[in-house]
Structure 1
Amino acid sequence: MMLQQNGANERFERGLRALSEIDGHAGEKVVNQLANIAPDFARYVIEFPFGDIYSRPGLDLRSREIATIAALAALGNATPQLKVHIEACLNVGVSREEIVEVLIQMAVYAGFPAAVNGLFAAKEVFAARGDAGRERAA
């Protein structure tokens, strides 16, 4: 990881561990890209969402990622982040079918355009992972 933390603190280290477990290289890539333009913001991304929120004991990582993709799909304007978190869902044990169901559910609360866009984002992530040819069971 390019981002250096002078006098690394527990929050930052906890955030790096969570980021690595959840997002793997995709998360590191985002943080490194941010570090080139706004290193303080890149540090905030590690410390706050991952060091503080994702590390809380109240929900497991599966549940947190399901909530995250639902929220990002509902926003309708965060496709790059949605793709990263769809990948993260797969990394923490959420199945392809569960992801599809979460995105279909968004049609009820966020509208059909949000659901369609979320499903297309998922299709791209699945294709990149070599899952594109799998069809849902009837």
Structure 2
Amino acid sequence: MDKEMFEKGLKMRRAVLGAEYVDKSIASADDFNMPMQELVTSYCWGEIWNRPGLPPKTRSLLNLAMLTALNRPHELKLHVRGALNNGVTREEIMEVFLQTAIYCGVPAAIDAFRNAREVFAEVDKK
């Protein structure tokens, strides 16, 4: 594992998803899933999220659409929170989900709206 890329990815991952969530994920990793934590942190967050071609806000919008299409509710909720951290508005999130209704299917978009509302409710409590 490239330690420098891991640290670069860890910084970005914490900025987007929140240090508490990221640190808990890494601290709770064991011998079985630590290699996945290292891969995701180094490759996804270090190599890709740090590329200069797209700002984090745009990457968040793309992730919301892709995770809706893939029907990955746990990751979608995580990235809704990350999108908010990256300056994506609730209106922009709504527009992404409306777009996914056309290209990914209405049921996928309905689930995405439901999951986002759960995140919004959690955020609004704080």
TM-score by length of 2: 0.90
> Structure 1 residues 108 and 53, CA, compared in 2 at 3 Å: closer, same or farther?
same
CA contact (8 A) 1:31 1:45 kept: no
Which residue identity is paired with 1:116?
I
CA contact (8 A) 1:100 1:119 kept: yes
Q: How big is the alpha-carbon RMSD for the aligned residues of Structure 1 and Structure 2?
A: 1.6
* Percent identity (aligned): 37
Relative contact order, CA 8 A, sep 6+: which one is greater? 2
Q: How many residues align?
A: 123
> Structure 1 residues 129 and 110, CA, compared in 2 at 3 Å: closer, same or farther?
same
Deviations 1:3-24 (A, max 9, x none): xx8xx72101100110011111
> What is the Cα deviation at residue 101 of structure 1?
1.1
> What is the Cα deviation at residue 103 of structure 1?
0.8
The residue that corresponds to 2:43 in the other structure is: 48
> Structure 1 residues 32 and 108, CA, compared in 2 at 3 Å: closer, same or farther?
farther
> What is the Cα deviation at residue 26 of structure 1?
2.9
Q: Provide the secondary structure at the position in 2 that maps to 1:26.
A: helix
The residue that corresponds to 1:125 in the other structure is: 119
Question: Which structure has the bigger radius of gyration?
Answer: 1
The residue that corresponds to 2:88 in the other structure is: 94
Task: Pick the structure with more helix per residue.
Answer: 2
d(CA) in 1 for partners of 2:16, 2:44 = 12
Is 1:57 aligned with 2:56?
no
d(CA) in 1 for partners of 2:105, 2:45 = 29
Which residue identity is paired with 1:51?
G
Is 1:18 aligned with 2:9?
no
Structure 2: gaps spanning 5 or more residues: none
d(CA) in 2 for partners of 1:85, 1:27 = 13
d(CA) in 1 for partners of 2:78, 2:40 = 14
Structure 1: gaps spanning 5 or more residues: 132-138
